[in-house]
Structure 1
Amino acid sequence: MSEKDMQTYFDKMNQANSLLKESLRVNNIESLAETLTDISDGSVYVENGVPDKDTVSKLENIYAEMKKLNLTPLQLKQAITVSIIKAQKDDKAEVNKLMTPDAIGLITSLIAYEVLNVQNKKDVNIVDPTVGTGNLLIEVIEQLNMTDKFNINAAALDNDDALVSLTKSFSEVMNLNLDAYHQDSVADWDITDIDLAVADLPVGYYPIDDNAKNFKTKSDKGHSYAHHLLIEQTMNNLNDGGIGIFIVPSQIFQTDQAKKLSEWMVSSVYLQAVLDLPTSLFASKEAQKAVVVLQKHGDNAKQVENVLMGTIPDTNNPKLFEGFKDQLQSWAKNFKG
């Protein structure tokens, strides 16, 4: 399947999205979620006569043309992610809600793969508690699926209704097994039996002090950092020995609330890796992020002898990146049950 077909698919999706946006009078992300649902269902969803017959007919023609383009899962995902980037740009989406780049998803999936492979896990339940557009979670699932080693069930949580709809419809078009829940992830979860969590955490203060009061990472005064509470909440909800892979600000251990986070980590989890992401992925030093890998106590889990630390090389530098993969493999041997 050619690049040209992928471009055509993207153009058609864009066309459909514009028509739906106008009909439904919603923003680009909401109409994109609806567009993807229609593509997945193979029909146009109509409620109270909206969209009208003329628009439905136009949309049906566009979807029929898209169906003829038999894209590979990888191309399909690329076309959708480019559409998400465009929709967020047009909506002027806030920074915390922007799509996680594929490169970060690839790195996250490599770490997840090496650990799960050593643990010899076949059935894997994954959660993303701050799923946003769904791209991080879907990239991780796709990469793990390509290895043919795991049966994956996934769950997604987010407090933004439009993004939950987008993630659900994105996963349906990709034909993935994913449940999405609209909720505040610092509040109680209904889902259980989770082996692995991946999250690109939103950064900032959590506004509901009453929900934060039961957390060890809460601030002694004023609002607590949402990303600290989310890490604690996620690790609490994992199975014993479960793994959390979190994308966090590089400065996470140098802030005014870092002490509380560090104290909680020492008592409740094993800090197994802290890796700065490639600098080329970020516009400035302030925007730089890192990957933190935590493991919940219990079920044979133990502190690795050497916490994996350093900066991950650029994914576009094959030689250096292969070296990083070798490091990952020897580090992952610590996770043998």
Structure 2
Amino acid sequence: MTPVEQLFTAFNTTADILKEELSSTYLEALAESGENMFQGTVLQDELNEVTTKRLDKVYKEINLDSFSNEEIRKGFQLAILKGMKEHTQPNHQMTPDSVGMFIGYLVNKFVAKKSFRLLDPAVGTGNLLATVLNQQTDKEIESVGVEIDDLLIRLAFVNANLQKHPVEFFNQDSLEPLFVDPADAVVCDLPVGYYPNDLRAEQYEVKAKEGHTYSHHMFIEQSTKHVKEGGYLFFMILMAFLKVNKPQCSMSSLKTI
């Protein structure tokens, strides 16, 4: 059994147990199990002694320090993908590994600093952010992730903890005002669709003349407001990535590289 298979088996087995005992969804149980594995103990007090011992046995067989961050990410990713198949929602989709690796490669090539800030305004389960971070070897990175979905950001939080990535998470609508320091780079798998809050959309340059505004257009504009001069924005939509030439620039000052 490969390390990734070993980790997936542990996540899957314990999530199935917790799903049944807590009467929750698989993804909710997976978040609980991931936190247990990170803390090295069973945190759910409502479980009976037999169930606690079953879980504890599986957790003790896994020494996270013996696995690489990529092995942990992939093992957790497989468990999340299983959960998403069982409980599919439009906003519960994960960035493919090929895309994450490509964006990570671009960040590594374009951001030459040894220490920088990285923002993902639609962090989801944290898979894209973790994939990018795992490719930034020998660099000190302060990361920020924003996500409106309670379950997804909880999975992202557990994902970051398991890989020991210091990430600051904000559970909020990313298109509302963000109180975060400017980043050197932004990475994002842009949510595609219409933004329902027309009053908020009115504050954006890209607002539609009639009807709802595209949320992915608003995410791009929002990102330009939270990146430093000379910083980079890497978006997954049509695989475009942009460089900001001026601080707090307008959409017209963006150049596609």
TM-score (norm 1): 0.71
Unaligned runs of 5+ residues in structure 1 are: 249-289, 309-337
Aligned to 2:111, the other structure's residue is in SS state: helix
What amino acid maps onto 1:291 in structure 2?
M
Amino acid at match of 2:31: A
Aligned to 1:110: 105
Q: Does 1:127 align with 2:119?
A: yes
- The number of aligned residues is 253
CA distance in 1, matches of 2:235, 2:20: 37
C-alpha spacing 1:6/1:114, structure 2 compared with 1 (3 Å): closer
Aligned to 2:145, the other structure's residue is in SS state: strand
Q: Does 1:142 find its partner at 2:134?
A: yes
1:22, distance to aligned residue in structure 2 (A): 1.7
Residue 231 of structure 1 corresponds to which residue in structure 2? 220
Q: Is this contact kept in 1: 2:242–2:254, CA < 8 A?
A: no
**Paired residue type of 1:90:** E
1:219 aligned counterpart, secondary structure = coil
1:66 is paired with a residue whose SS is: coil
Determine if contact 2:146/2:170 at 8 Å carries over to the other structure.
Answer: yes
Equivalent residue runs for 1:48-127 within 5 Å: 49-67=45-63, 70-94=66-90, 96-117=91-112, 121-127=113-119
CA RMSD of aligned residues (A): 2.0
Q: State which of 144, 168, 172 in structure 2 corresponds to 1:179.
A: 168
Residue type at the aligned position of 2:95: T
Offset of residue 113 of structure 1: 1.1
AA aligned to 1:9 is: L
Match of 1:39 in 2: 37
Query: What SS does the corresponding residue of 1:156 show, helix, strand or coil?
Result: strand
Q: 1:194 to 1:303 in 2, by over 3 A?
A: closer
Alignment match of 1:245 (pick from 215, 218, 234): 234
Is 2:4 the partner of 1:9? no
For 2:129 and 2:117, the matched residues in 1 are separated by 12
CA apart distance, 1:68: 8.1
Report what 1:221 is aligned to: 210
Structure 1 counterpart of 2:17: 19
**Secondary structure, aligned partner of 1:245:** strand
**1:303–1:156 distance in 2 versus 1, CA, 3 Å:** closer
Larger Rg, first or second structure (1 or 2)? 1
Kindly provide the CA deviation profile for residues 243-286 of structure 1, in whole angstroms up to 9, marking residues without a partner as x: 111111xxxxxxxxxxxxxxxxxxxxxxxxxxxxxxxxxxxxxx
Identity in percent: 28
Instruction: Spell out the pairing of 1:161-176 with structure 2 (5 A cutoff).
Output: 161-176=150-165
The C-alpha deviation readout for 1:177-226, integer Å capped at 9, x for no partner, is 11111100000111113111100011111011111111001101111101
Query: What is the distance in 2 between the residues matched to 1:79 and 1:103?
Result: 16
Aligned-partner Cα distance in 1 for 2:254–2:181: 24
Instruction: Work out whether 1:294 is the aligned partner of 2:242.
Output: yes
Long gaps (5+) in structure 2: none
Amino acid at match of 2:24: V
